[in-house]
Amino acid sequence: MTGNTVRLGRIFGIEIKLDYSWFIVFILTAWSLAGQYFPSMYPGWPRGVYWVMGAITAVLFFLSVLAHELAHSLVSQAFGVPVRDITLFIFGGAAKISEEPKTARGELLMALVGPLTSLVIAALFGLLWLVGGAVSPYLQALALWLAGINVSLGLFNLIPGFPLDGGRVFRAILWAITGNLRLATRIATGLGRLVASGFIFLGVWQIFGGNWTNGLWMAFIGWFLENAATVSYRRLALRDMLAGHTAREVMTSECQFIHRGLTLDVFVDRVLLPSGRRCFPVQEGGQLHGLLTLHRIKKVPRQQWESTRVEEVMIPRSELKAVSPGEELNVVFDRMTAEDVNQVLIIEDERLLGIVARDNLLNFIRTRAELGLR
């Protein structure tokens, strides 16, 4: 996803990003407001005013969505679950929350606060609509549309299909009742798929009834929800497989220490190929300087291998994360996701035992799945 986003900046330490798909929504919103909605609701305004109004309203809509996601994020952080970034895309926003929630109460509040924020914003714009007429008819017009869209945003998100907010609320309640997060997630994602199918069914129904635009839009939302529910379910299945296993079981050990002054051509010919190993810590005088990975080497064009030294391409120690060998694989996986790294060092008593890369986790899951183990 990183390649398709534009960074906007930080609020409360949370990075705000725009997905490219969001620009389509922005332009469509501004366009339909300026070209259709405002002219039909308020005929007789100067032409340019419609466009300025369309643009301003679209920006305020964007800020409304951002406020919704920020509300989720701030409550999440208050309950000790860090938020890396918020990405705004075609269906609104998504806050990237790296871990599973810790308590049902925290999850419930975190999920509820988003739609609640949208409804409060709707009420504020409603108020502005009531009193704004005295100031300017433009202000009043803009307030009415924003009140309506924020009500829709709040209510849509309350639909109980996981991973929509309403689905999260549903899951938190199930979790509180059963005391079992996995069972609750399983039921909530199941309901999420059902809701998604409902949307698709209604969409197709409308298309057959001749209402193409609405029908396609409904079916599209259904398809999106179905996808999201499936992804959530897979993530849960992945967690189930990793649970109860430790880093020691999957790590690549028998690391071969290399010098940082080595050039890449010598490293590949004399060390990498004959050894068949995949773990190459760069160490000198008992001190770890970094880690050389195949991925890093591949980035250097072959003609430059002779003139490139290991220390120029290694991942420096400061960027390497470490866990202990007894750490559970779920935690290791969360760390990799949260820190956005592809491998972690396994260190015990200041000694490097090995590394765990994403490949290790994938192989572990694939092998167990093939053998029918869990």
Closer residue to Zn ion, CB minimum distance, 70 or 272: 70
Query: CB 72 → Zn ion: shortest distance, Å?
Result: 5
* Residue whose beta carbon is closest to Zn ion: 114
- 125: buried, middle or exposed (CB in 10 Å: 19+, 13-18, 0-12)? buried
Under DSSP, the state recorded for 179 is: S
Long-range CB contact pairs, 194-197, < 8 A, 24+: 194/161, 195/159, 195/160, 195/161, 195/164, 195/167, 195/225, 196/161, 196/222, 196/223, 196/224, 196/225, 196/226, 196/229, 197/222, 197/226
Under DSSP, the state recorded for 300 is: S
Closer residue to Zn ion, CB minimum distance, 87 or 283: 87
Query: CB 68 → Zn ion: shortest distance, Å?
Result: 5
Query: CB 276 → Zn ion: shortest distance, Å?
Result: 49
Query: CB 346 → Zn ion: shortest distance, Å?
Result: 37
Query: CB 286 → Zn ion: shortest distance, Å?
Result: 50
Binding site for Zn ion (CB under 5 A): 114, 157, 165
Closer residue to Zn ion, CB minimum distance, 76 or 157: 157
- The residues, ordered by sequence, that sit 6+ positions from 272 with a Cβ below 8 Å of its Cβ are 280, 294
Closer residue to Zn ion, CB minimum distance, 114 or 167: 114
Question: What is the bridge-based pairing of β-strands 343-348 and 280-284?
Answer: unpaired
Closer residue to Zn ion, CB minimum distance, 96 or 335: 96
The answer to whether the CB of 9 falls within 8 A of the CB of 77 is no
